[in-house]
Amino acid sequence: MIKTEEWTRRQFFAGLTAAGVAGGLILSGEPALAQTGLSGDAAIRELIAGNERFMAGNVTSFPEDLKILKAKTADKQEPFASVLACADSRIPVELIFDQTIGHLFVTRVAGNMVTPEIVATLEYGVAVLGIKAILVMGHLGCGAIAAAVEAKEVPGQISVLYQHLMPGIAGAHGDIPLAAKMNAAYQAKLLSESSTVIAKAIKDDGVKVMSASYDIATGKVTLGA
């Protein structure tokens, strides 16, 4: 079942471009915008530098927020990076990276997992907004990961999450913190390989797609699995 689901997702992702969903954006004449001229590597470094400021209590973004909102973001957005994060309320993404309004293109879903809708959103960020880095960020204490690892019976449609999470956590052997890191790495790899738009941007434009783990207790973001 998982293999069939995975194959179907890959078909869908490839079809986005073939059907012109993403291509229409690329060919529409819209200029690619970016908050700065940062490369993919530099964008990742800026995220980590911001996280270090956050952990040290030296955030710099708040004084700029209102001014930037009024002067720079009313008519357009120019983010330099995307972050795919869990929907957990304890993860304020912009604050974690000490970034102000308009700097990050954030998508959030329980388990920070890749779905067709998430891919379409991130493709827009890369193809239209000129984003140079995508960080898929899991976190310690993730309820979605814990439920999937323990195969808990859950109400409503919550169990729909499992089919997207199980492939990435299969080798965790019940270790929930490890599973959260493995899932982030798996989702980053899936995103890099499944989206033709993002795969091409990685090859041609130096776009970086990486995984990371956020420690809610310390506030630290660690790159990689």
**Segment 80-138, tens digit of pLDDT:** 999 999 999 999 999 999 998 888 999 999 999 999 999 999 999 999 999 999 999 99
Confidence grade of residue 75 (pLDDT, cut at 50, 70, 90): confident
CATH number at residue 31: 3.40.1050.10
Torsion of CA 201, 202, 207, 212, to 10 degrees: 130
pLDDT over 60 at 172, yes or no? yes
Long-range contacts made by residues 198-205, C-beta under 8 angstroms, separation at least 24?
198/119, 198/122, 198/123, 198/126, 198/134, 201/126, 201/127, 205/132
pLDDT at residue 52 in the model: 95
Side chain identity at 59, as an amino acid letter? V
Burial 162-201 (b: 16+ CB within 10 A, else e): bebbbbbbeebeeebbbbbbbbbbbbbbbbbebbbbbbeb
pLDDT over 50 at 29, yes or no? no
pLDDT at residue 128 in the model: 94
- In this prediction, residues 144-166 reach a mean pLDDT of 90
pLDDT at residue 37 in the model: 76
pLDDT at residue 124 in the model: 96
pTM of the model: 0.78
pLDDT over 80 at 50, yes or no? yes
pLDDT over 70 at 65, yes or no? no
**Segment 184-218, tens digit of pLDDT:** 999 999 999 999 999 999 999 999 999 999 999 99
- Which range of residues forms the domain containing residue 196? 2-223
Residues across the chain: 225
Name the domain count of the chain. Answer: 1
